[in-house]
Amino acid sequence: MTIVAFAAVALLMLRWLAELLLSERNRRHVLAHAQSVPEAFREFIDPQTYARSVDYTLAKGRFQQFDGTLDFLLLAVVLLTGALPAAYRAWTDALRNSVWSAGGFLFAVGLALALPKLPVDWHEQFRLEARFGFNTTTPRTWWLDRLKGLLLALALGYPLLVLVLKLVTWAGDLWWLWAWGCVLGFQLVMVVLAPVLLLPLFNKFTPLPDGPLRDRLLALATETGFRARSIQVMDGSKRSRHSNAFFTGFGRFRKIVLFDTLISQLADKELAAVLAHEIGHYKKRHIPKMLVWSALSLLGSFYVLSVLARQEWLYRGFGFEPGHIAPAFLLFGLLSGAVTFWFTPLGNLVSRRFEYEADRYAAGFMREAAPLVGALRKLNEKNLSNLTPHPLYSGFYYSHPTLVEREQALRVAPGTT
């Protein structure tokens, strides 16, 4: 292998080392606060539950270290042994070098790299999550989820990939701009259609039953000007005891979704505060802003890919012969994460700012912060969240502020008590 391949593996190693260092710093910080419940949390969490949250955090940290190490080693072996160009030559010799075969090769490589991770994912679900009482899925459901995901990727992702590869021939030097438009259009269509057609393939959605909770939440939605087609309950407990709430779709297809686990964990007023927080994201236009950010990132990615695809050193550096763009797509997909990883804190910084804004909106609408604070405390307790992450670790990885940070911000939010 050439210096190009070794440089790529060095980039992957830098990311791996950074992940290990961040994880180790977080581990030590959690252990430093593990002897007793910190004063900020004594009001709502007992010592036994806090000890379990520490154990869960440490166990997840060890698992993530193993998972990250496996990812690094797998990619390093694939890149340094020449397995990819050898497989590509064998594939094209057998199936010729059409866009359909090239797309099939990219799909097959993705599938091959995912297979060694199946035992790891299984262990996470049926050992780690089960050990702390979160797993409720069955082996049958677990395998069906992966089969459905594979079939959807074949039905939707594979034709889109072939179209993008074909645009390289059809659109000339500006193929990357046309490809961006096609992929962006596909993503926007999926935002509308996925809640209607795809999500029900994995979960059951039922209308929230008539009663005081439904009346309260619909009144809240009406008062905030958030028009939703319905409030639905998702059977999240089919797979896990973790809980969540979200809204999906646009226009008349918009609907509010509550996990059944969330309904069982929170009081009605706390559920209303959670819904007000989600509506806060809508009122503050966070979703369109994130879509614009995603679109610009996608545009930048396609442009960088188009530049790299013209570089002969990229192909030869990994043992490929120049002449077809598929290897450039493959290498970009495998290696881009080693670069974008370092921009993770920037994206999470924006996300945390949005969370603060949604919290302030919810507290202001409810005219008090107590219901939202109560909901956040219960969610952190029930999910055994890490209550004492290292600031560098949370700043790098967390898309949401920590519980302490959110409570501090809510204390000074205008219009709340």
Structure tokens given for 241 = 């005891």
* Cα distances (angstroms) measured from residue 99 to each of 107, 162, 315, 416: 12, 6, 18, 59
295-299 contacts: CB < 8 A, separation 24 or more?
A: 295/184, 298/180, 298/183, 298/184, 298/187, 299/177, 299/180
Question: What ranges in 309-343 are assigned the alpha helix state H?
Answer: 312-317, 326-340
DSSP assignment string, 64-90 = HHHHHHHHHHHHHHHHHTTHHHHHHHH
Give 213's contacts (C-beta < 8 A, 6+ positions apart). Answer: 263, 268, 271
Which residue out of 359, 368, 381, 405 is catalytically annotated? 359
DSSP state of 135: B
Contact 177, 302 (CB under 8 A): yes
Element of type H or E holding 385:
none
Q: Identity (one letter) of the amino acid at 130?
A: A
Are the C-beta atoms of residues 48 and 7 closer than 8 Å to each other? no
User: What six digits make up the tokens of 1?
Assistant: 């292998």
CA distance 93 to 95: 6
Instruction: Determine the residue type at 125.
Output: Q
Give me 6's structure tokens.
């070794």
In one-letter notation, the amino acid at residue 256 is: I
Name the H helices within 33-46. none
Tokens linked to 201? 């393939």
Q: How many helices (H) and strands (E) does the chain have?
A: 19, 4
CA distance 83 to 318: 10
Cα Rg, the chain, nearest whole Å? 24
The packing angle between helices 268-283 and 212-223, to 10°, is 30
DSSP 251-299: GGG-EEEEEHHHHHHS-HHHHHHHHHHHHHHHHTTHHHHHHHHHHHHHH
Q: Please indicate whether residue 321 is annotated as part of the active site.
A: no
Q: 121 an active-site residue?
A: no
Catalytic option among 71, 278, 355, 381: 278
Q: Could you give the residue numbers annotated as active site?
A: 278, 359
